[in-house]
């Protein structure tokens, strides 16, 4: 028997969308998705099975925490692989919907080497918390890389390798007709093998779902595209602007604008000249790539699929993850 809440309008709406079984199993009625303690996740007829007993958490396992939950390091005992386990509260409809979109995004990411891959997920029988198990990226995010570098910048060849993987991850999402909507350093992970992968698909959306969704204010204002800042709908090019902001920051060692106060930030994003790298200081191909990403007019800004062919990210040197791995290892010495 599903557990139903009190009969006010909001709760009736939720009970029509979500059902909670006696064992804690969550069922999303419109999509048929199910998250259970024993069967894991069932979505579109596919089963992604994992349970708490499959995981052995590290002694000091906390990798990060935030409003959305806690991320812990663990070992997936059946395979011996190290994994990251994201634990989230799903005690209201909004959080459950976000979980649904994140899991759908992870399913769409399957097989793409530039998007974080997942194992499965389950709901804990005793707490009602949902645990999503993904691959562990052992160097954390590009925000962590920025902290390690201080005011130093990423060298051009290594930046080309990062940019190439970031753009190809966005191109994969574009091919699936998905918008990421929150590209920022904290949502781009990397590891000691020189791999760079987008993560956090909790607010990703299907472009075809509705124009109202595409116009919703989400994401992080610091990396927001101009069309989003003024309240217009956005598309794949909005993710490209955000990627350009990330690459500018890595190239220069600093955020491109002198303020993070929203009113002043709005002026920087929507009115003042777009950020540009100094061609006398930086590689011309890098300057051109960042300039194309940071073109204010969304219709003139290329999408990720087009940018894959840019010389800065398609050259053989940009594909040399071993060179990036060697440089990243040197930072840890």
With a CB cutoff of 8 Å and minimum separation 6, the contacts of 286 are 156, 159, 160, 251, 277, 312
> Ramachandran region of residue 47, left (φ > 0), alpha (ψ -120 to 50) or beta?
beta
Residue with token string 């998705």: 33
Radius of gyration over every alpha carbon of the chain, rounded to an integer in angstroms: 21
What are the percentages of helix, strand and coil residues in the chain, rounded to 5? 40, 20, 40
**Cα three-residue angle 163-333-80, rounded to 5 degrees:** 75
Tell me if residue 38 is catalytic.
no
Q: What is the 3-state secondary structure (H, E, C) of 5-50?
A: CCCCHHHHHHHHHEEECCCCCEEECCCCCEEECCCEEEECCEEECC
Helices (H), the chain: 9-17, 93-109, 142-149, 156-175, 211-214, 226-229, 236-252, 262-270, 284-293, 304-307, 311-314, 321-332
Q: How many CB atoms lie within 10 A of CB 61?
A: 15
Q: How far is residue 166 CA from its own chain's centroid?
A: 11
Counting Cβ atoms within 10 Å, is residue 331 exposed (0-12), middle (13-18) or buried (19+)?
exposed
- Output DSSP code: residue 318: G
Find the catalytic residue in 9, 23, 182, 278. 182
Residue positions annotated with a catalytic role? 182
């Amino acid at each position: 028997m599903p557990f139903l809440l009190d009969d006010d309008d909001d709760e009736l709406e939720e009970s029509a969308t979500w059902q909670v079984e006696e064992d804690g199993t969550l069922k999303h009625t419109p999509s048929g998705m199910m998250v259970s303690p024993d069967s894991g996740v069932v979505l579109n007829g596919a089963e992604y099975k994992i349970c708490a007993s499959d995981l052995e958490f590290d002694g000091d396992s906390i990798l990060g925490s935030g409003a959305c939950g806690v991320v812990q390091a663990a070992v997936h005992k059946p395979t011996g692989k190290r994994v990251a386990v994201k634990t989230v509260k799903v005690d209201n409809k909004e959080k459950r919907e976000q979980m649904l979109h994140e899991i759908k995004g992870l399913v769409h990411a399957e097989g793409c080497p530039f998007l974080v891959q997942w194992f499965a997920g389950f709901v804990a029988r005793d707490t009602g918390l949902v645990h999503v198990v993904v691959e562990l990226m052992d160097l954390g995010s590009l925000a962590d890389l920025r902290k390690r570098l201080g005011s130093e910048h990423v060298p051009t060849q290594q930046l080309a390798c990062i940019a190439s993987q970031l753009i190809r991850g966005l191109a994969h999402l574009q091919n699936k007709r998905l918008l990421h909507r929150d590209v920022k350093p904290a949502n781009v992970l990397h590891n000691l093998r020189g791999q760079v992968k987008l993560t956090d698909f909790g607010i990703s959306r299907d472009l075809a779902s509705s124009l109202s969704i595409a116009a919703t204010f989400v994401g992080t204002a610091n990396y927001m595209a101009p069309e989003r800042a003024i309240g217009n709908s956005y598309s794949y090019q909005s993710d490209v602007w955000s990627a350009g902001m990330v690459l500018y920051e890595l190239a220069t060692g600093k955020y491109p604008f002198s303020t993070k106060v929203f009113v002043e930030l709005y002026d920087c994003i929507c009115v003042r000249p777009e950020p540009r790298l100094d061609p006398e200081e930086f590689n011309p191909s890098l300057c051109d790539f960042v300039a194309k990403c940071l073109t204010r007019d969304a219709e003139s800004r290329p999408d990720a699929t087009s940018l894959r062919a840019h010389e800065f990210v398609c050259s053989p040197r940009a594909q040399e993850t071993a060179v990036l791995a060697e440089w990243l290892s040197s930072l840890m010495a």
